[in-house]
Amino acid sequence: MKINKIVCIGAGYVGGPTMAVIADRCPHVDVTVIDMNEVRIAAWNSSSLPVYEPGLAEVVQRARGRNLKFLNHIDGVQALKEADAIFISVNTPTKTHGPGAGKASDLSYVESCARFIAQHVSGQKIVIEKSTMPVRTAELIKEILTHNNSQAKFDILSNPEFLAEGTAIRDLEKPERVLIGGENSEAVQALVDIYAQWVDPRLIITTGLWSAELSKLAANAFLAQRVSSINSMSAVCEKTGANIDEVAKVIGTDSRVGPKFLKASVGFGGSCFKKDVLSLIYICESYALPEVAHYWQQVIEINEWQKKRFAQKIIESVPPHGTVAILGLAFKKETNDFRESASIDIVQHLLQAGLKVISYDPKVNFTEFAKGLQKAENLKSASSIAVAINGVHAVAILTEWPEFASINWQEFAPQLKNCNLIYDGRNIVPVDAPLPPKLNFQRIGVSG
């Protein structure tokens, strides 16, 4: 079995960058990315890509028009018919209604992909789960495919993606591991051969299907748990006079723990941690493992609490109807993505408390951000840091954009004359940064 032609359904934060890197690294393989969102496809075909990722534009530039195409899903049918391998890279959000609402993954987009594939293909096809899916979803996909198409032969593989936003291209070009789960060793090998074009084969882990599906959820749950662990400690630090950055340094120097992912923050965000932990919780409940479900539920609870207590401190520091500047809307630096960003909840808490909010973020589309917020009439956008902080009663840093770490606060003393509090929700302002006098400066996990 050999993969010469690939189709990927879903041109989002994963499908777009992942396929661009595959096309870039495998010039002999034809890669077509299809999506039902025509606006997104048009953006992938323009100079203004729908996803901001360092290095992405260069990769797309090299491969697009050579062996990389972006098409709407109707125009992509011919490519689908010809493909040897079809990646499913669509969204798997938390269900909002029906059984499992609020926890289980909504597989309707995945199911519609399976029906779309079944409707159009014949011959032998490798169907690859790239989206994050609950364990045993491959069973469901296979059932839909075979029920709706008796002519084609399908092999299902699970190849979950581990890239992090902001470093997606680096993560794809130099992954710590690639995971491929499957039953048919020939199909598994065909996909291994694709990645082996640029990834050291020793980093390509092959497992059973269910292990691959569960490993992805488990990996995200462990990462989210680490952030909630350090954030829970940040609250203890604030009460006791210990300093979270010092504590994290000590914990992280133990090689069994390691230094990464121990940065206290306003709470984790992003489209995946919360939904994947919730999905795991639902799986545990479905398999009658309430103790395990409860254990993981705490990771979410601490995260919600961290956001709330941060907002509460700001609310307590400003006069009624006062104004707060929010620096950073993205859920982390180097991305325009604000899905599940801590800033959404924090801004909402401030607005609900009757405060006015003025925000600045170098990449996030403010109009999109403000959609869905209540009392959004009291939320405004600023074109720069200087405009955002002018005359406010408090400033909160919610994203670790480098430009916030290097703000010269003393220079802004006149604009900050009404300001009671600068709250660094990312602990990025250097501890020795000169500050205007009589201004209360607070860090996460540091008392005072």
Q: State the residues that interact with ligand UGA by CB under 6 A.
A: 132, 161-165, 220, 223, 227, 261-263, 265, 268-270, 272-273, 331-332
419 classed as catalytic: no
Cα 365 from Cα 15, distance rounded (Å): 21
Stretch that binds ligand NAD, among 53-61, 89-97, 146-154, 246-254 (CB under 6 A): 89-97
x/- letters, 131..170, toward ligand NAD (CB under 6 A): xx----------------------------x-x-x-----
Figure out which of the listed residues 1, 75, 112, 196 binds ligand NAD, where binding follows CB under 6 A.
112
The catalytically annotated residue of 8, 237, 272, 284 is: 272
The partner in contact with residue 109, picked from ligand UGA, ligand NAD, none with C-beta cut-offs of 5 to 8 angstroms by kind, is: ligand NAD
Among 91, 158, 231, 303, binds ligand NAD (CB under 6 A): 91
Shortest reach from residue 343's CB to ligand UGA, in Å = 10
Least distance from C-beta 246 to ligand UGA, angstroms? 15
Size of the site for ligand NAD (CB under 6 A): 26
12 binds, options ligand UGA, ligand NAD, none, Cβ within 5 to 8 A by partner type: ligand NAD
Query: Residue 97 to residues 144, 241, 279, 438: CA-CA distances in angstroms?
Result: 22, 45, 14, 51
CB atoms inside a 10 Å sphere around CB 416: 23
Q: Which is nearer to ligand NAD, 20 or 36 (CB)?
A: 36
Q: In what order do the strands lie in the sheet with 323-327?
A: 379-381, 356-360, 323-327, 394-397, 421-424, 440-443
In single-letter form, the type of residue at position 249 comes to K
Look at residue 326 and give the partner it binds from ligand UGA, ligand NAD, none, a contact being a CB closer than 5 to 8 Å depending on partner kind: none
Shortest Cβ 257–ligand NAD spacing (Å): 24
Query: Could you tell me whether strands 85-88 and 379-381 are parallel, antiparallel, or unpaired per DSSP bridges?
Result: unpaired
Report the residue number, 318 or 428, with the smaller CB distance to ligand UGA: 428
Given its phi and psi angles, is residue 115 left (phi above 0), alpha (psi -120 to 50 degrees) or beta? Answer: alpha
State which of residues 5, 25, 37, 218 lies at the interface with ligand NAD (CB under 6 A).
Answer: 37
Of 335 and 420, the one with the shorter C-beta distance to ligand NAD is 335
Mutual orientation of helices 273-286 and 209-240 as an angle, nearest 10°? 120
Measured distance CA(32)–CA(40) in Å, rounded = 14
The three-point CA angle 139-140-145 to 5° equals 100
Does position 181 interact with ligand NAD (CB under 6 A)? The reply is no
Q: From the centroid of its chain, how far is CA 202? A: 27
Side chain identity, residue 388: A
Strand ranges of the sheet holding 85-88, from the earlier edge strand across to the other edge? 68-72, 30-35, 5-9, 85-88, 124-129, 153-158, 178-182, 204-207
271 binds ligand NAD (CB under 6 A): yes
The nearest distance, CB 323 to ligand UGA, in angstroms, is: 25
Q: What residues form DSSP beta bridges with 31?
A: 6, 68
Whichever of 182 and 270 has its CB closer to ligand UGA, that residue is 270
Nearest residue (CB) to ligand UGA, 59 versus 79: 59
DSSP state of 105: B
* β strands within 40-194, DSSP E: 68-72, 85-88, 124-129, 153-158, 178-182
Least spacing, CB of residue 415 vs ligand UGA, in Å: 27
Q: Which residues are catalytic?
A: 272
Residues in contact with ligand NAD by the rule CB under 6 A: 9-15, 35-37, 40, 73, 89-92, 109, 112-113, 131-132, 161, 163, 165, 271-272
